[in-house]
A = this chain, B = another copy of it.
């Protein structure tokens, strides 16, 4: 990709309403644009990052046997009345249709997926099933100001599983934990993302959140001494839960827990039989008797994950993308002025592209060196290359990793081997 072919440009500052660090950096770098509070456009480089995150999520969900679907955002009022949630979900956007009764804009899809999947279930042979979608969701948030971390409109992977009994649900639920951890590891935040015990609400003893540690987090969690497991405030306030979760628990042990700020990047719930029951769904067991269907749900927000990666990995110069998410592996800065040198840098760019290597090529002629280098830091590709009249004379490129200050002179072959 050539800089001169992008319609975006980097910005020195952003509108003052934008107070979140993740959105400030993403807007300045030209990854996203703010339409209003809680609603952003993804610009060409930002959409590449979002797509990479969504494809990682898809791969990990497919690997545990889930099937991808795409459900409507518009949902009829009647299905929300069936589950008695029309009046109780306060973030539900409601709207009037012309020829239809009232409609909701889906913040979640239990009301759609439950009749959808159970409609194809007849007997125990048709279970278990797990389906997911990667879709745009809507929440009527009063004053969203956390950038991509909390949107009125956001991207969501929501998965739902259906089972013959609680044991089968639990077995699948346990499989989703490493799948989720794989997602965070591949997005470069695995080492700081903790499996966190949370209240199970009315359906189950516990649910789990995945919480990514960062001083910019909205949540407070409590880490088990030395561990990768944490618990949230609800669980901290419940001595019976503490006794179950903390090994060899004695009252007062919770004082050893370390309180930390974090961003919730995923959550998994056992929903019991509530939603299939509401739709009168069931399956025939081996004797032909009708049995209840057990259900779980599993959420992870790719747009929130994108904002979280920025919050966690950015430094004071700008964004730092892990290689798996970066819009390009290399940021190629050209300092060429005369025609022959420009042709030489073009040739390097073309060689790299032909090898299938992704390169963001700063080919701008009218921009000073200092700004080009600042933009490279702001944009955050993992590897920076500078080609100048001086480096061309030695047939080398000046290489720097985004996260190191060390500069090396490399041949193109050495660069290609990185």
Chain A residues with CB under 8 Å of chain B are 5-9, 33, 35-37, 39-44, 47, 50, 65, 67-76, 93-95, 97-100, 103, 105, 112, 116-117, 119-121, 126, 129, 131, 136, 138, 140-143, 152-153
Contact = CB atoms under 8 A, between A and B. Distances in A.
B94 A95 contact: yes
A116 B33 contact: yes
B70 A39 contact: no
Contacts of A6: 67
Given A44-B69, A97-B152, A100-B152, 11 more contacts: A7-B126, A36-B100, A41-B71, A41-B72, A42-B69, A42-B71, A47-B69, A47-B70, A94-B95, A99-B142, A136-B136
Contacts of A65: 5
Given A35-B112, A105-B105, A112-B35, A72 B40 contact: yes
A42 B116 CA distance: 11
A325 to B, nearest CB: 16
Contacts of A68: 44, 47
A62 to B, nearest CB: 11
Closest A-B pairs by Cβ, 4 of them? A39-B72, A42-B70, A95-B95, A99-B142
Name the residue in A6, A68, A69, A143 with the highest tally of chain B Cβ atoms < 10 Å from its Cβ: A69
28 contacts: A5-B67, A7-B117, A7-B121, A7-B129, A7-B131, A9-B120, A35-B71, A35-B75, A36-B74, A37-B99, A40-B72, A41-B116, A42-B70, A42-B71, A43-B69, A44-B67, A47-B69, A72-B153, A73-B73, A73-B136, A73-B138, A93-B95, A97-B140, A98-B140, A98-B142, A99-B141, A99-B142, A99-B143
Contacts of A129: 7
A47 B68 CA distance: 8
Q: State the number of copies, please.
A: 2
A195 B390 CA distance: 55
A120 B7 contact: yes
Nearest to A143: B99
A36 B136 contact: no
A35 B76 contact: yes
A131 B40 CA distance: 16
Contacts of A36: 74, 76, 100
B74 A152 contact: yes
A335 to B, nearest CB: 20
A73 to B, nearest CB: 6
Nearest to A119: B33
B7 A67 contact: yes
Nearest to A78: B36
A387 to B, nearest CB: 23
Given A44-B69, A67-B7, A138 B99 contact: no
A71 B67 CA distance: 27
Contacts of A131: 7, 44
A71 to B, nearest CB: 5
A136 B74 CA distance: 11
A414 B233 CA distance: 64
A23 to B, nearest CB: 14
A19 to B, nearest CB: 15
Nearest to A40: B72
A412 to B, nearest CB: 27
A94 B93 CA distance: 10
B153 A74 contact: yes
A31 to B, nearest CB: 11
A257 to B, nearest CB: 35
Contacts of A94: 95
B105 A95 contact: yes
A153 B153 CA distance: 16
A232 to B, nearest CB: 26
A143 to B, nearest CB: 5
Given A35-B72, A70-B50, A94-B95, A112 B41 contact: yes
